[in-house]
Amino acid sequence: MSRRILISGASIAGNATALTLARAGFDVTVIEQAPAFRDGGQNVDIRDVGRDVLRLLGLEQAALDQGTGEEGTAWINEDGETVAEIMTDDVEGDGPTAELEILRGDLARLLFDAAQDRVSFRFGDTIARLVEDDSGVEVHFDSGARERFECVMVAEGVGSRTRDQVFPGENDPRWLDLTLAYFTIPRTADDDRRWRWYHATEGRSIHLRPDRHGTTRAMLSVQKASDGEQDWDVARQKQYLHERFADAGWQAPRVLAGMDAADDFYFDVLRQVRMKRWHTQRVVLTGDAAWCVTPMGGIGATLAVTGAYVLAGELALHPSPGDAFAAYEAAMRPMVDQGQGVPKIVPRLMNPQSETAVRILHGVLGLATSAPVRSATAKLSDRDLKGPDLSRYAARLETRVDR
């Protein structure tokens, strides 16, 4: 009889875990709160061991083919002039723009499409309650259904309700004092293939990035401590951004108008998820629900697919879920700790408050991206990730694990 697994969240982490487990012969069900699969989202990149995972899953070339086409990163002044630039062709390896840049939704869709013939996906439902015992987990769904699984994997993201139910009070978030809003706006003739980053005063930034869908991905950021903005309703969040960016300059009017029309608006105040444990004997956290490093960490999607492969691999190697989850946590902790090690001063330095500080930052960036030193600068973004050894899982994840 196949081992029956429930995954909550059709995210990158959830879909990657589902696909990897299904390939190994597990009976996998994925539930997702949204009524249908969610496309869209901003750029993510896959680096180092994450590329290895996609290769093992047979999806690396497909992910490259669906890349955003971003060709580099440019810092822009109020007149739209480039004050610093680092292009992918200028450096070896990955810089701020990685070789494999893809939209979050496009990567999640690749994983979903590869898994859907082997995995049962249920949309429009969530976990209401879990009852764990020595032999499995009884899951009570908000739809009223009740089912039993050998174990449950929670891939619900940074605000996971199930995590907070199973591990009450155990998340000790590290707030990074940076508010972000993401959304898609119409492309205009002057949008190029670069990630354009504009600094205004008062810790404000505007980002415009290309995609492969004929639109532009916009981001607004504000460097400040949270006043609970992440809990406001969407109308209040958008009004707040209008007030903060009304005099920001550059393309702020265009971006704010696009925000009002966007149907994929996402707003959050960045915080890392810090958990002393990721599992019980039958329930385990993965992806941002376990360790959100935030976009400042730069390896969120890489961690998501790597964690999925390691989690599936350990479950294939261990008859006991509790033993598998402990081994998974031991294998992934060093990489997560590395991703969460971003100094809190970084968002402050990269989002200056005064005109003088903006000029100083632009001067530093201009020097750092000049021909003599830009390769060294790129290496700061292309960190040597200490990923787990995937070779111990590869054979088991291609064979059935019925028992």
Whether 56 has a pLDDT exceeding 80, the answer reads: yes
* CA separation for the pair 79, 76 (Å, rounded): 8
Report pLDDT for 14: 97
β-sheet bridge partners, residue 181: 220, 267
* CA separation for the pair 376, 9 (Å, rounded): 38
Report pLDDT for 55: 94
Mean pLDDT of 373-381: 54
Report pLDDT for 296: 83
Whether 120 has a pLDDT exceeding 50, the answer reads: yes
Instruction: Write the pLDDT tens digit of every residue in 331-348.
Output: 999 999 999 988 888 888
Report pLDDT for 298: 82
Report pLDDT for 37: 92
Q: How confident is the model at residue 401 (pLDDT cuts 50, 70, 90)?
A: very low
β-sheet bridge partners, residue 129: 140
Q: Which pair of tokens denotes residue 272?
A: 């890392």
What lies within 8 Å, CB to CB, of 59 at 6+ separation is 110, 111, 114
Mean pLDDT, the chain, rounded, equals 91
Mean pLDDT of 215-236: 95
Report pLDDT for 224: 93
Report pLDDT for 370: 82
Report pLDDT for 111: 97
* CA separation for the pair 376, 368 (Å, rounded): 8
Whether 140 has a pLDDT exceeding 60, the answer reads: yes
Report pLDDT for 343: 85
Instruction: Write the pLDDT tens digit of every residue in 177-224.
Output: 999 999 999 999 999 999 999 999 999 999 999 999 999 999 999 999
Mean pLDDT of 363-384: 68
* CA separation for the pair 1, 64 (Å, rounded): 37
Whether 162 has a pLDDT exceeding 70, the answer reads: yes
Q: How confident is the model at residue 386 (pLDDT cuts 50, 70, 90)?
A: confident
* CA separation for the pair 238, 227 (Å, rounded): 15
Of the chain, the percentage scoring pLDDT greater than 70 comes to 92
Whether 373 has a pLDDT exceeding 80, the answer reads: no
Report pLDDT for 374: 54
Report pLDDT for 113: 97
* CA separation for the pair 44, 336 (Å, rounded): 17
Report pLDDT for 382: 53
Report pLDDT for 246: 97
Instruction: Write the pLDDT tens digit of every residue in 64-98.
Output: 999 999 999 999 999 999 999 988 877 665 566 67
Report pLDDT for 204: 97
CA 173, 174, 178, 182 torsion: positive or negative? negative
Of the chain, the percentage scoring pLDDT greater than 90 comes to 81
Report pLDDT for 40: 79
Q: Is 169 helix (H, G, I), strand (E, B) or coil?
A: coil
* CA separation for the pair 218, 209 (Å, rounded): 6
Mean pLDDT of 125-137: 96
Mean pLDDT of 16-26: 96
Mean pLDDT of 136-152: 97
Q: How confident is the model at residue 312 (pLDDT cuts 50, 70, 90)?
A: very high
Q: How confident is the model at residue 400 (pLDDT cuts 50, 70, 90)?
A: very low
